[in-house]
A and B are shown apart, each in its own frame.
Chain A
Amino acid sequence: MSLGAYVDGIGVFGPGLPDWGTAAQVLRGAGAYSPTPTELPAPSILPVAERRRTGRVVRLALAVAVEAVRGAELDPAQLPSVFASSGGDGANCHEICSALAESAREMSPTRFTNSVHNLVAGYWSIAVGAMRPSQTLCAYDASFAAGLLEALVGVATEREPTLLVAYDAPYPHPLHAARPLAAEFGVALVLAPRRGVRSLARIEATIATGEAPALDDARLEALRRGVPAARSLPLLAALASLAGEEPRVTSVEYLDAAALRVEVRACA
């Protein structure tokens, strides 16, 4: 059973990877990878009142979503969306648990509102005016593959372009020791049922067993292993390296021994 879609837009953000163009060069091996601290763009699509309330994880997710939707040249208000994250806003969670451990237990209403795992979906829908269905999924380290599967199922059953956004940011101390994430990383794909003028590639995914391939560059591999959203890197590397008609086959880590095997073809 395979699920297919066209990739119409891509957004990436991570250490030393400020956008898909830079990431594609690095993943092709055309540029050296240097995981330097990278500045997140301001969440300019949010109304000012909401902008003040958002933390880094929201900015990270919105940045990659904006980049992917711009690439696809689609109206974001019309897109159903799938968000995937292992942990939501970890810094916000830390503040809440710290406050609840004090005798006064003073909870900020904004912090509580931002404690929901689907906060990015909420801010995104407000920012772009999207009233379309939206999912937010968590599958621990398999969150990216779970999101990709859900988005591909959505494309297959609803037959319309869908936005997939996966993102993770590290928890602060002391939760970081219990759940160490290596860096902030976000990825977004616009997946479409039909080939369009913006289509970059066709992907076909099947659920398989076996390990996802390690990346050649040790620092990229550390990023892949260190952040659930960065489990997408083998797929991004295949998308970055397409040439001619030959498909590339790769896989992304899923649950336990499972992987999503993905065949990627260029839309020349």
Chain B
Amino acid sequence: MDRRHCPPLVLASFTATSDIGIGNAATLASLRSKHCGLRPCDFDDVEVPTWIGAVDAAETQPLPPQWRRYDCRNNRLAELALRQDGLLERVRAAADRYGPRRVGVFLGTSTSGILETERAYRRREPADGRLPADFDYRGTHNAFSTVDYLRRRCGLEGPAATVCAACASSAKAFAVARRMIDAGIVDAALVGGVDSLCLTTLYGFHSLQLLAPAACRPFDAARDGLSIGEAAAFALLERAPSSLDSDAVLLLGTGESSDAHHMSTPHPDGLGARIAIERALGDARLDAGAIDYVNLHGTGTPSNDRAESRAVRATCGSAVPCSSTKGATGHTLGAAGALEAVLSSLCLGAGLLPAGLGTVQVDAALGVNYLTDNRTAPLRRVLSNSFGFGGANCCLVLGTAG
């Protein structure tokens, strides 16, 4: 028996909040004006020579008082994003239409609200090392915290899980939700990713010597590492109805694989990435030639970009226009897959092939058609790549209905 073909799903609503904008209008305006949201790291009292993509409004966004136990930067960022572009209303309307048990929640994150634990460890009881009494592990730190919060916030009772695949997490959330809808377990799903700044990732990537000292420059010949950002991005996925507006955005295919190579370094030839791209194209029933633009994972580390360029060349050739929006947003880790799916959706609607910001001299050795300037052109099919620690790979094919 072969794998069942899954019909396309529609992104009935979507929104993104990152350092380049709170909500879709501001985000698209930033893409159009080539605005980079990165700045020298001033997060907390962190002393790491790098730049960050921060969402300052996340720090002050209140949660409704009845959900106080979930209060942390990660859930404030989720709440801020949920309030944009009518998403909360659309999700609640889906719960009314399908029934709350028929709407799932699948989100990706890498560090959830671990910042609360990091801070609690600085406030340990001197006598016995206890954590402060106000520390709420379940509400903040646990990887399920944001899914738990959003289920309650939106009144959803369907299947739910946090998808944890490091920097491929929220791309995989789309794949998990797609299978759940395909299998008939849910009729719709709130999918996305939320990841926020914390000490673990800033000091952690610093320890691996993977942070750029200034704003990252993906695919540049002189690229020297990544910049960490934070973001929340969501989509409401449903089965595509028989008639759709021509500018409706569809999830056409998902492809996943594992590198089986190394915990923190990609396969040098991008073999796992290549398999994921091929599976995504196969799932979408598209030839590589149908792809108009590739939103690269493009972190800006020498080895990541090299491996990805090989995978893209091997699958889509060297002519397809591509760029990494991480030059504007930084690497938003577990939120990156969802953020870039939403950015790709905005670009599909606007007919915009976005420039890769920060990149001055494209690395000719990578052999891809990397965009350093915005281009306006009809756009129908986009491939979005996400790869993570543990060798997790996930690629999405998005397209317009028309």
Using a CB–CB cutoff of 8 Å, the interface residues on chain A facing chain B are 1, 3, 50, 53, 77, 86-88, 93, 96-98, 100-101, 105, 107-109, 111-119, 121-123, 125-126, 128-140, 143, 146, 149-150, 153-154, 156-160, 173-175, 177-179, 193-194, 207, 255-256, 258
Contact = CB atoms under 8 A, between A and B. Distances in A.
B390 A119 contact: yes
Given A125-B258, A258-B157, A153 B179 contact: yes
B203 A100 contact: yes
Interface string B1-40: 1111010000000000000000000000000000000000
Given A3-B185, A119-B263, 10 more contacts: A87-B142, A107-B204, A118-B389, A121-B165, A133-B257, A135-B172, A136-B165, A157-B183, A255-B157, A255-B160
B93 to A, nearest CB: 22
B172 A131 contact: no
A52 to B, nearest CB: 12
Given A101-B121, A126-B262, A131-B257, A137 B204 contact: no
A85 B161 CA distance: 11
Q: B-side binding surface: helix, strand, loop or mixed?
A: mixed
Nearest to A1: B184
A114 B208 CA distance: 12
A138 B203 contact: no
Contact of B161 (A111, A113, A139): A139
Contacts, number: 210
Given A87-B142, A113-B264, A140-B138, A134 B392 contact: yes
Interface of B: 1-4, 6, 47, 101, 110-111, 114, 117-118, 120-122, 124, 129-131, 135-138, 142-144, 147-148, 151, 157, 159-166, 172, 175-176, 179-180, 182-185, 199-200, 203-208, 256-264, 271-272, 275, 279, 388-392
B258 A153 contact: no
A123 B262 CA distance: 8
Q: Which of B3, B147, B206, B263 has the most A CB atoms < 10 Å from its CB?
A: B263
Given A100-B199, A109-B207, A112-B204, A138 B256 contact: no
Contacts of A178: 131, 135-137
B131 A130 contact: no
B164 A117 contact: yes
A50 B199 CA distance: 25
B204 A101 contact: no
Contact of A159 (B1, B142, B199, B272): B1
A115 B137 CA distance: 16
A112 B333 CA distance: 14
11 contacts: A108-B207, A109-B204, A117-B110, A118-B389, A122-B389, A123-B390, A131-B259, A150-B161, A157-B3, A158-B4, A160-B3
Nearest to B264: A113
A100 B121 contact: yes
A177 B130 contact: yes
Contacts of A149: 159, 185
A113 to B, nearest CB: 5
B95 to A, nearest CB: 15
B389 A113 contact: yes
Contacts of B260: 77, 125-126, 128-131
